Amino acid sequence: MEEKKLTPKERLEIPPQRMREQTPKDRIGNVEEVPFGFTEEEARIEASRCLQCKTAPCVQGCPVAIDIPAFIKLICEGDFEGSAKKIKETNILPAICGRVCPQEEQCQKTCVVGKSRKSVDEAVQIGKLERFVADYQMKNCKPEAPHIKASTGKKVAIVGAGPAGLTVAADVRREGHDVTVFEALHKPGGVLIYGIPEFRLPKAIVEREVENLERMGVEVKYNMVIGKIFSIDELLDGDYDAVFVATGAGLPMFMRLEGENLNGVYSANEFLTRANLMKAYSFPETDTPIVKLRNVAVFGGGNVAMDSARTALRLGSENVYLVYRRSRAEMPARVEEVHHAEEEGVQFLLLQNPTRLIGDEKGWVKQVECIRMELGEPDDSGRRRPVPVENSEFTIDVDAVIVSIGNSSNPLIPDTTPDIETNRWGNIIADEVTMKTSKKGVFAGGDIVLGAATVILAMGQGRLAAIAINEYLSTGEW
């Protein structure tokens, strides 16, 4: 299809195409995805906003360096399949990244169009275009497995089937090595499956992306908790020539408040796993329930807190309070998530901090005591430090609390493999370029190294590790 010729000035004048989405009233009654995605016409108009900059600062903002101008140009030309293939040269999970990447902090932050329109919100919507072509390819094109080189006879074990593990699996398999992924849960995807809710990332999309790996000949073994069933040493002494550890940051953090052990207090991980992986929203058709929650307090201001609050609404809660100790400007969650949560009716209790949880005579949480806060001087993170306002305590009535203040690294592998070095937060220490750990033959990447980070950063580390694993297996040099 021929592309219409436009001058840069004309391109700059095209307003961003806004994705149509379910109304807030409709969407809190279901778990379907909120935005509908671009039509072909909308995608081509949005793509025509790109100036095809020679220096392409957007590419430097992408942790896996997708050739962004090239894939956008193919959309302008109407070659949507070609565009998806171009992205897949460097990113095996575009339908996922297009949905969940914090684009406004990465590729879109540096976009020249956004800069000249003086708002990152007006940048070329690279993520939404990526999602469009990935969805188009899934829907309209025949799946094809990438070319796999002749077998090398070498075997690689990957521990954890999240985005980091899956990325390494693809890149190492392509070189002709045998790959086995050991996954503790009964499904692949890591946080993509058990953490991020269906209404942000439909699970069918994750499953389709994983099927592609299986077509490549990657074997995934489920219900395999490494560190319990086999140790890393047993993997290395047995069949495997190299191991990649990608066990993520799945250990929930708590606030150490009085009353945090009461019934009805969930970690965000448990709450979201019940809802997403075990599909509690369709109980009793599925096995795992969540007790009916009328008034819910969610502690935290990040993406996990937004996901928990919005999930609670969809499970029928009448009042969902998001308690956050700083102001909206300091909230770490993506702007889009905050906006969606607010539209759906999540009540933001900003500059307030929980101080204790109060239970009833049967041991169920019934109230949260909070204190008001004000912002003081900036702390080490550069954000203004929240300071309690004396004697400003108050209580809110709740029948559940979801603690969403973050996760730390899974300790099982470091605990059972003492010669793998960790830092003071329990993250595995790995070389920044090769992702080699202190133990010969063992590489690590993703959240287990970075601490709770992002999908694309985990994938970026996976790509680095795969290059180093392939080299190690071909030279034998550590």
Question: How far is residue 87 from each of residues 65, 82, 90, measured CA to CA in Å?
Answer: 10, 9, 6
Q: Is 335 near ligand FAD (CB under 6 A)?
A: no
409 binding ligand FAD? (CB under 6 A)? no
Cα–Cα distance between 333 and 298 in angstroms, integer? Answer: 14
Q: Are 194 and 276 in contact (CB under 8 A)?
A: yes
The residue type found at 478 is W
- Strand 178-182 versus strand 155-159 pairing type: parallel
Of ligand FAD, ligand SF4, none, which one sits near residue 455, judging by CB under 5 to 8 A according to partner kind? ligand FAD
The H or E element spanning position 295 is strand 295-299
Distance CA(302)–CA(347), nearest Å, equals: 15
Residue 312 makes contact with ligand FAD by CB under 6 A: no
Contact at 8 Å (CB) between 433 and 464? yes
CB of 214 to ligand FAD, least distance (A): 16
Please select the residue that binds ligand FAD; options are 35, 61, 127, 165, rule is CB under 6 A: 165
Residue among 47, 58, 306, 428 that touches ligand SF4 (CB under 6 A): 58
Report yes or no: 236 and 120 within 8 Å, Cβ to Cβ. no
Would you give the binding string for ligand FAD spanning residues 179-218, x where CB under 6 A is met? Answer: ---xxxx----xx---xx----------------------
User: Can you tell me the distance from the alpha carbon of 23 to that of 20, in angstroms, rounded to the nearest whole number?
Assistant: 9
Of residues 90 through 129, those in contact with ligand SF4 by CB under 6 A are 91, 97-98, 101, 103, 106-107, 111-113, 124, 126-127
- Closest CB to ligand FAD among residues 386, 460: 460
Q: Which two tokens stand for residue 317?
A: 């809660």
CA contacts within 13 A on the Cβ side of 377: 2
Q: How far is the CB of 303 from ligand FAD (least distance, A)?
A: 4
Taking the complex as a whole, how short is the minimal distance between the CB of residue 68 and ligand SF4, in angstroms?
Answer: 5
Residue 410 interacting with ligand SF4 (CB under 6 A)? no
Under the criterion CB under 6 A, does residue 301 sit at the interface with ligand FAD? no
Q: Closest CB to ligand FAD among 273 and 295?
A: 273
Instruction: Check residue 163 for interaction with ligand FAD (CB under 6 A).
Output: yes
The answer to whether residue 420 forms part of the interface with ligand SF4 (CB under 6 A) is: no
Using CB under 6 A as the binding rule, whether residue 160 contacts ligand FAD is answered as: yes
Told to check if 68 binds ligand SF4 by CB under 6 A, we report yes
- How far apart are the C-alpha atoms of 76 and 208, rounded to whole Å? 26
Verify binding: residue 304, ligand FAD, rule CB under 6 A.
yes
Answer whether 71's CB lies under 8 Å from 130's CB: yes
> Of 220 and 473, which CB lies nearer to ligand FAD in the complex structure?
220
Handedness of CA 58, 61, 62, 65 (dihedral sign): positive
Least distance CB 83 / ligand SF4 (angstroms): 12
Closer to ligand SF4 by CB, 112 or 323: give it: 112
70 makes contact with ligand SF4 (CB under 6 A): no
Please state, in angstroms and rounded to a whole number, the distance separating the CA atoms of residues 395 and 344.
24
Determine if 52 is a binding residue for ligand SF4 (CB under 6 A).
Answer: yes
Cβ proximity to ligand SF4: between 259 and 445 the closer is 445
AA identity, residue 149: K
Q: What b/e string do you get for 325-353 counting C-beta neighbours within 10 Å, with b at 16 or more?
A: bbbeebbbbbebbbebbbbbbbebbbbbb
- What's 468's DSSP letter? H
Distance CA 357, CA 367 (A): 6
Residues lying near ligand FAD in the complex (CB under 6 A): 100-102, 159-165, 182-185, 190-191, 195-196, 224-227, 246-248, 250, 272, 303-304, 307, 410, 412-413, 446-447, 453-456, 458
Instruction: Return residues touching ligand SF4 (CB under 6 A).
Output: 50-53, 56-58, 62, 64, 66, 68-69, 91, 97-98, 101, 103, 106-107, 111-113, 124, 126-127, 130, 456
